[in-house]
Structure 1
Amino acid sequence: MSQEPIKFAYWVPNVSGGLVVSKIEQRTSWDIDYNRELARIAEKAGFEYALSQIRFTAGYGAEYQHESVAISHALLASTEKLRVIAAILPGPWHPAVLAKQISTISHLTGGRIAVNIVSGWFRSEFTAIGEPWLEHDERYRRSEEFIEVLKGIWTQDDFSYRGDFYRFHNYSLKPKPLQQPRPEIFQGGSSRAARDMASRAADWYFTNGNSVEGIKAQVDDLRAKAAANDHKVKVGVNAFIVARDTEEEARAVLAEILAKADPEAVRAFGHEVRQAGAASPEGEGNWAKSTFEDLVQYNDGFKTNLIGTPQQIAERIVALKAVGVDLILSGFLHFQEEVAYFGEKVLPLVRELEAKRAAEKSAA
């Protein structure tokens, strides 16, 4: 178990429709004023990161979307400590353009910008904007080249690169980002190709929600591969958090979310993402085995089971930390008030449990 305190991030609701495919009331808005205030609340509550979403087309209740890099900059400008991770799709973005965008934002915001390289799951989105849709493992190969290029541009002058997807000839970016050696690079996915790539290239690996046992299997595989590559990578896990004063209240909220799920939208989303998950050669990618109920939350967030009282949730978070999780990527039903509640009621308990475990380990 890491000696570092576990970190917390939240999904930026820069896409309309909230974080569940349900007709339940979600007191969450995609507009900029709501998101600026949410960023300030999260910073005060003790969240270290926010992750902006990237979508190019409407679907599954996500009618409107703010672009990820632009809104990330807006949230950074509204906060003082919070770090914001901008989600990026190789294909629509060229790495030279992104490298320059992020370097500029780094200088404007004291080096608090990071990137999450999303290899792509939404085939219809790519075809709608005229971008080629690559096979599963080819998408990850392109993403790995994208990351190699970003690292090169951000740390070298006269950078040259000759890959299958990107070519550079004596390119120098100035100014380079403030972060040393460069901005953090996050990457998602649950397939073998995703873990293999993270074990070589990423600073952080995001995976969909899962049980403690399921997460442990992924972490063990990832860390063994990373060690063989003389590389270190941290792990973030998606979780939809329902924290209430009693377990009965929390379970009732989950039951209502599922009872009011939009069946047509969930099935359409499920068709799209299962195609992406099953397309991995081993058939184990994101969503490959997700049930209807799992898919009501976009990234299997119910599976992580952070649903209950503050004490129950804190104990489950520390159990995840014990199997190698470094960060909880959080979604909520009503973001502003629930992020504040989490910071007041749950996070202090997590820190108490971490301190207790550390003391027990020292005494052993």
Structure 2
Amino acid sequence: MSGASSPSAHQKTEAIKFAYWVPNVSGGLVISKVEQRTSWDIDYNRKLAQIAEASGFEYALTQIRFTAGYGAEYQHESVSFSHALLAATEKLNVIAAILPGPWHPAVVAKQVASISWYTGGRLAVNIVSGWFRGEFQAIGEHWLDHDERYRRSEEFIRVLRGVWSQDDFSFAGDFYRFRAYTLKPKPVSPPEIFQGGSSRAARDMAARVSDWYFTNGNTIEGIQKQVDDIRANSAQSGHRVKIGVNAFAIVRDTAEEARAALDDILTHADPDAVRAFHHEVQNAGAASPEREGNWAKSSFEDLVQYNDGFKTNLIGSPEEVARRILDLKAVGVDLVLLGFLHFQEEIEFFGKRVIPLVRALEAEQARLAA
């Protein structure tokens, strides 16, 4: 691919990983009145986790919301829901979304350490710095300025790492203070730490402290710029950050069927809900020093999928989508975080029709490189 940077030797040889958004929040992942055969209840999600595990997915990401809105009227809490999915599976890693402010790092450290023992170390965390001011106001939490939220998140992560690895841990930050604190038992292995965001503050935080960086959906060129930026910054400290990208997958037997499904989603979009979501995310972006955030360049159509998943363009036949995934890998993406219209059926289809093609293409690339 022209303009693609050369991935590291590690990234060349390691298979790209697949994760899915856990629908523990009602309403599905598109702001549309189109049929979405999915459910936020636990029985549906236990079965979905088992299907995903059998289909080649390594990770599942639970969502965190505290208030109803934008089609998400009901929500199950992320840590307890993650534990339930881990109990229903054997290999799947589940990433629990954590929001500093409502959570204190000591509570999270203890929750995760205990669940780590119950499940063989398969629980990770995704530290969400927060973009929805109304949610904080509704539960009486102080709303920090944009970069202050990321400074708090960085302290949160540093505390987690310290508590999980040291006895008599002490920390004196602007947001958290610990004095000779010892947590026992510690996790059976160091839990992976994910984070998201696209601002300067988010990327710099990832380069310093996070294992994984999630970015919104984007074009190949847009993703490459973010990957190159984070890798350059993290290399200065010898810290490697893996990259995950959001995508909404619409895979059908033919490209025409896939495009028709996308058109159906957009035709039935809920304009009032999309505009309300747009208002909140624009406010969040305008508060950043760059005056833009994750959704600064998102059109109405992009915003129908919460995290710009249509932009990644995993829409088409299995062969087309598999090749586009290899294009993502070529610019440094380590994991694709996927949303679907009909979760159980489409994750199974993706596992049967797309992942084997991706693995075959990876093997062919390795053979040619050798």
TM-score range, shorter chain: over 0.9
Alignment-derived partner of residue 107 in structure 1: 117
CA distance in 2, matches of 1:278, 1:230: 32
Distance apart, 1:275 and its partner CA: 1.2
Give CA-to-partner distance per residue, 1:301-348, whole Å, 9 cap, x none: 000000000000000000000000000000000000000000000000
Give 2:273's aligned amino acid. Answer: A
Contact 2:22/2:62 (8 A) holds in 1: yes
Contact 2:159/2:171 (8 A) holds in 1: yes
After TM superposition, list the pairs within 5 Å mapping 1:78-227 onto structure 2: 78-179=88-189, 182-227=190-235
CA distance in 2, matches of 1:237, 1:30: 23
Give 1:294's aligned amino acid. Answer: D
Which secondary structure does the structure 2 equivalent of 1:360 belong to?
A: helix
Distance apart, 1:285 and its partner CA: 1.9
Matched, 1:352 2:364: no
Distance apart, 1:283 and its partner CA: 2.6
Bigger drift between 276-285 and 80-89 goes to 276-285
CA distance in 2, matches of 1:260, 1:279: 31
Alignment-derived partner of residue 308 in structure 2: 300
Length, aligned pairs only: 360
CA distance in 1, matches of 2:349, 2:287: 39
Alignment-derived partner of residue 51 in structure 1: 61
Alignment-derived partner of residue 286 in structure 1: 294
- State the identity as a percent: 75
Distance apart, 1:284 and its partner CA: 3.7
Residue 277 (structure 2) aligned to one of 258, 269, 291: 269
Alignment-derived partner of residue 343 in structure 1: 351
Matched, 1:327 2:335: yes
List 4+ stretches of structure 1 deviating above 6 A: none
CA distance in 2, matches of 1:52, 1:153: 23
CA distance in 2, matches of 1:208, 1:274: 15
RMSD: 0.6
Under a length normalisation based on structure 2, what TM-score does the superposition of the two structures give? 0.97
Give 2:229's aligned amino acid. Answer: D
Residue 31 (structure 1) aligned to one of 35, 38, 41: 41
| Structure 1 unpaired stretches of 5+ | none
Alignment-derived partner of residue 257 in structure 1: 265
CA distance in 2, matches of 1:47, 1:278: 36
| Structure 2 unpaired stretches of 5+ | 1-6
CA distance in 1, matches of 2:318, 2:147: 40
CA distance in 2, matches of 1:214, 1:135: 26
Give 2:203's aligned amino acid. Answer: R
Matched, 1:19 2:13: no
CA distance in 1, matches of 2:285, 2:96: 23
Distance apart, 1:278 and its partner CA: 2.6
Contact 1:192/1:285 (8 A) holds in 2: no
CA distance in 1, matches of 2:179, 2:292: 38
